[in-house]
Amino acid sequence: ELMIVFVLVFLVIVPLCNPAGNLWNLIGEITTEPIQDNTASAVPAYFSAADEAGFPSPPPDEESYRKVYTFVVTSPIILLCVLVVCVLVVSVIVDISNRQSFINKKIIEALTKQREETLLQQKEDHENLIHSIFPPVVAKDLIRKQSGQDLTVSKSGRDFGLSHMNLGSLVAQMHHEVTILFTDIVGFTSMSQTVAPQQVMEFLHELFLCFDDLVDMNSSLWKVETIGDAFMVASGLEVKDSSRELLSGHLSGSTESDARAAIVFGRAAIGEAQSLTMPNGQQCQIRAGVHTGDVCSGVVGSRMPRYCLFGDTVNTASRMESSGVPGRMQISQATYDLVCDLGGFVFEERGFVEVKGKGKMATYLLREDLDLNASST
């Protein structure tokens, strides 16, 4: 655009504004009017120079003078016009190149922004995935230790990059007076033999969704894992550190209240199970077993890592469930001592029960005819 303006100014405005008059008219007059004596006296020098150089020259008539004079006057203007056109063409090419560079820059910026947003979304998804697998305190510790590194998930979807991390304090942490609860579906094995696996999976999904909602109702509870038709819950589980931070992010509650939360969950779980019908048409019934004691927690493995609990307390709680009564909750003496004086629960002594690997143990069954609203939390 600037070059076009320059050409117009040079070829139009400047000739028109010339103090001697219109330049183009002057050139026209020179080429048409007879050559004056003072002009003609200067032109023969051209022919004289040509003769001295040995070049043949036409006779110095008026027409020859006019052509030479016109060439002398117009050649600088023609050369300048050619130069302007060349500069104009180069300017157009440079402008097109600059525009293309600008477009490419904008495309690169857009792609970079899109990539950054994708990476942020992937990071958020990875963090949400870790939070869904591990307790919040453990997940935050893992994410904090992973800062500065890329949290990658393998193509198989089972490796979360934990093998390259120093788990440190996350391994083998002791927890005292934790209440463990197991549930198991009565007749699950025989039912699985008579219906399609997809129906079994859909039924378990529906049942465990109900259990998950019950877990979310109390911050003292933490869903540890599901193994087949077994559902494992821990109450009062905490990751001991300098801040004494619980899974729920609050200060540690009492052992009695943690045991109470497990009992309330187990009773509600039995009620939820009885409201469902299994794929074989029978009413769903579960057994529940509860025990309180010390456990050890840790992150196990790097492929499909799991936050697991270990110890005799876990085994005893599992035995309380397996030796229990369908549709009832069986608790150990240790748990009974914590909740017997809290009120809202009615237990009946079952006596000594032979428990695999433990011998005879005193156990108690939760009364199924009590008011479900008597012990709201």
pLDDT along the chain (377 residues), means of 10: 65 59 56 51 49 53 64 67 76 87 93 92 86 77 67 48 48 85 95 94 95 91 91 80 38 72 94 94 95 89 81 94 93 93 86 88 82 40
Task: Give the pLDDT of residue 132.
Answer: 77
pTM, to two decimals: 0.63
Task: Give the pLDDT of residue 326.
Answer: 93
Burial (CB count <10 Å: 0-12, 13-18, 19+), residue 173: middle
Task: Give the pLDDT of residue 86.
Answer: 79
Q: Tell me which residue has tokens 């935050």.
A: 140
Task: Give the pLDDT of residue 374.
Answer: 41
Return the closest-CA partner of residue 170 out of 12, 70, 301, 340: 301
What backbone phi and psi angles, to 5 degrees, belong to 315?
Answer: -65, -40
